[in-house]
Amino acid sequence: VDAAGNIGYSSANTFAVRITGGITYVDENATGLNTGGSWADALTDLQAALMGADPATGQTAEIWVAAGTYTPTADTDRDVTFGLQDHVAIYGGFAGTEATRGARNWSSHETILSGDLDASGGASGADSQHVVTAPAETTGVAVLDGFTIRHGYAAGNGGGLLVRGSP
């Protein structure tokens, strides 16, 4: 975190983002500035948007995600997950042009959260243990809406979604 409060994140690109309310856009096919400030400049990595969310402000940040397939990590670390957070609402099912959440059509624009880390096309022991997690600290203000979750591979429960004692 730098002096301005920006949270650094590294992947194929290096950038910093901080979300404190309002909308952050994610589109795996975006080619703009990768700031998350619009569909044209959408982040290409959902994990970057989640890491930049600042729920401490008490304002609900919305993350709008365009159709596509998103994995929790670009490498093979099975323990990395998409973590839900209080005051962060994540909405899928966008074409990548909508101006309102009500204009999305999640059945026509499937947005997939996938644990298929080895790109085998099916669940295997090399895939994410839990694609999405809701930690015990989540008090019920987290939102995950408009997604298909697939290819998690847990030894026990929660291959797709693991909820840890949330209300």
CB of 71 closer than 8 Å to CB of 128 = yes
The Cα–Cα gap between 18 and 77 comes to 24
The Cα–Cα gap between 20 and 28 comes to 22
> What pLDDT, in 10s, does the model give residues 82-132?
999 888 999 999 999 999 999 999 999 999 999 999 988 877 889 999 999
The Cα–Cα gap between 153 and 146 comes to 21
Task: Please state the φ and ψ torsions of residue 101, each to the nearest 5 degrees.
Answer: -65, -35
What pTM, to 2 d.p., does this model score? 0.84
> What pLDDT, in 10s, does the model give residues 46-61?
999 998 887 666 677 8
DSSP string for residues in 76-120: --TT--EE--TTEEEEEEE-S--SSGGG--TTTS-EEEE--TT--
